Amino acid sequence: MKSHNDRSPLDRSPPLRVAGQSLDEEIERLLDDHAVGPYMLAVLMVIVAGLEWWRWANDLKPNPWLFTAVAVSAVLFAIFKIVRTHKQAKQLKLGRDGERAVAEHLEWLRAHNFVVMHDIPNGDANVDHVLIGPKGIYTIETKTLSKPRRGPCKVTVEDSLIRVNGRQMDRDPVVQAKAQAGWLKSFLAESQFKTVVQPVVVIPGWFVEPFDMKKAGVWVLEIKALKAFIINQPEQYPLEEVKAMASALRSHIRSLTKR
């Protein structure tokens, strides 16, 4: 039996966020706000119209045409909203699944003394993945893009702009990645850690043409290439410092989870 004084055993140490959690929350909000309401309205109006037709069939002298027109309008509105919401939810699910696939690929880093965290709250945004280890600190922005059924699947980077099959991406992932790395560097500096944070953009399943990453200030990679890039980095932080930095970031995440 639960009393008023009961509390969760996880209050002091709630679980960290999982990969794609913010997108799961966005999908749930999207469906609640833009699909469930129109659907219920459409059902209600169909019921009302059905009742009016029943009255008419029983010679109760109703006027069902008005209710039918309203019901048809409600159904058309619901169809429009549901179709559009379905498309938006499909894109969000693609992004969520991409973040989770990348998270699986990052698990190998734990064997190399890396701490791997996902979906880190950062003001109004979220850092998809953070890696803290002896061979560096990395923020990873995942961009999961649908691939054409035929033809090339090629990503090029020029003048810090990412183009997918020649078309510039709507949102600039380079700017996002650098902002995320800057936030993490500032956060760790406030915790008395002097660091260099490498921003990374990962585009699963697409071939990324080689480019001058040093000049661009960001790595843009297919996820399978990330391991080689990190392994080839020199040792930068002792293990104790890695643990201390990870602990500070965990405390930050948990402080936000409790709110």
Lowest mean pLDDT of 66-70, 74-78, 82-86, 135-139, name the range: 66-70
pLDDT value at residue 185: 95
Q: Which two tokens stand for residue 159?
A: 């003048």
Q: Is 84 helix (H, G, I), strand (E, B) or coil?
A: helix
Distance in angstroms (rounded) separating the CA atoms of residues 203 and 230: 16
| Mean pLDDT, residues 30-53 | 77
pLDDT value at residue 103: 87
pLDDT value at residue 257: 66
Distance in angstroms (rounded) separating the CA atoms of residues 92 and 103: 16
127-153 core/surface letters (b: 16 or more CB in 10 A; e: else): bbbbbbbbbbbbbbbbbbbeeeeeeee
Task: Kindly report, residue by residue over 91-111, the tens digit of the pLDDT.
Answer: 888 888 888 888 888 988 999
Task: Kindly report, residue by residue over 181-194, the tens digit of the pLDDT.
Answer: 999 999 999 989 99
**Tokens 């706000």 sit at which residue?**
33
| Mean pLDDT, residues 154-178 | 87
Of the candidates 101, 117, 173, 120, the one whose C-alpha atom is nearest the C-alpha of residue 143 is 173
Task: Kindly report, residue by residue over 219-246, the tens digit of the pLDDT.
Answer: 999 988 988 899 899 999 999 999 999 9
pTM equals: 0.73
Instruction: Check: CB of residue 158 under 8 Å from CB of residue 220.
Output: no
